[in-house]
Amino acid sequence: MRIQLKSLDEIRLMREAGLVLSAILDEICAAAKPGVSTWELDRIARAGIEKHRVKSLFLGYASPPYPAVLCTSINEVIVHGIPRKNEVIKDGDIIGIDFGIGKQGFCADSARTIMVGEVSPEKKKLVETTREALNAAIDMCRIGNRIGDIGSAVQKYAEERGYSVVRQFVGHGIGQRMHEEPAVPNFGAPNEGKRLKRGLVIAVEPMVNAGAPDVELLDDGWTAVTKDRRLSAHFEHTIAILDEGPWVLTRASSTPGNPGND
């Protein structure tokens, strides 16, 4: 499948989707407190989807069909945790919240890991490392660089701090479909892979483990946990490659060439 480069007008439509996603995700993250179920977070996301008249990218996706509009991944869950009524967030948890929407025919995809209440120094360091690994990757999202430069930035930042990066799941191109070419791994060598061109839009999503990188898939067919049951964190943004530099379409503070901050 060929890489689909986007026009500036198409990127602006993706930006509109990204801003709606960011606003809904803000509400979801603000509600992620001790005593709240992950099912309730999914209800908040559904209400946001209805309010803004956008489409969930996750509900019914793939096989078995994904049953929710959010992924809620607590502590040792890497990605794709399914929201449940009996899964209640506790003080000291970390929870990855992954969310995707479609608007006007274009997609946006983003994830954040939230620290709930008083978290341990171990959890705080892991979350902050993963967030900064994504920022290091975003800085590589420039015309003339290669996919390997992005993955290498994540891998180097995480491994230098004693962590591992998940290899089983990777980032991806995004546009009219949630998953497009190219694949964007969180590992690799500098100056290898496809070259980044103007109009490429990608979702970069570091998944960083406190222990080994190995993954185990649970019986529900979706929930991916660390095989050693140590902690994991996940961040993701949708990023457009422009002449000015990266435009983080799912980060409200970003402008073309200015990544902004969360």
pLDDT tens figures, 207-261: 999 999 999 999 999 999 999 999 999 999 999 999 999 999 999 999 999 999 9
The confidence score (pLDDT) of residue 145 equals 98
What backbone phi and psi angles, to 5 degrees, belong to 21?
-55, -45
Q: What is the CATH number of domain 8-248?
A: 3.90.230.10
- Residue 33 banded pLDDT, cuts 50, 70, 90: very high
Distances (CA, A) of 136 to 7, 28, 173: 26, 26, 18
Give the chain as a DSSP string: -------HHHHHHHHHHHHHHHHHHHHHHHH--TT-BHHHHHHHHHHHHHHHT-EESSTT-TTTTP-SSEEEEETTEEE-PPP-TT-B--TT-EEEEEEEEEETTEEEEEEEEEEPSS--HHHHHHHHHHHHHHHHHHHT-STT-BHHHHHHHHHHHHHTTT-EE-SSS-EEE-SSSSSEEEEE-S---TT-SSBP-TT-EEEE--EEESS---EEE-TTSS-EEETT---EEE-BEEEEEETTEEEETT-TT-BTTB----
- Residue 170 banded pLDDT, cuts 50, 70, 90: very high
Q: Has residue 143 got a pLDDT over 80? A: yes
The confidence score (pLDDT) of residue 16 equals 98
CB 247 within 8 A of CB 239: yes
**Dihedral sign from CA coordinates of 232, 169, 112, 56:** negative
Q: What is the mean pLDDT of residues 136-155?
A: 98
Q: Has residue 52 got a pLDDT over 80? A: yes
* Rg of the chain in Å (alpha carbons): 17
CA dihedral 176, 10, 12, 202 (to 10 degrees): 50
Q: Has residue 1 got a pLDDT over 90? A: no
Average pLDDT over the chain reads 98
Give the span between the Cα atoms of 105 and 97, in whole angstroms: 23
The confidence score (pLDDT) of residue 119 equals 98
- Parse the chain into domains and list their residue ranges: 8-248
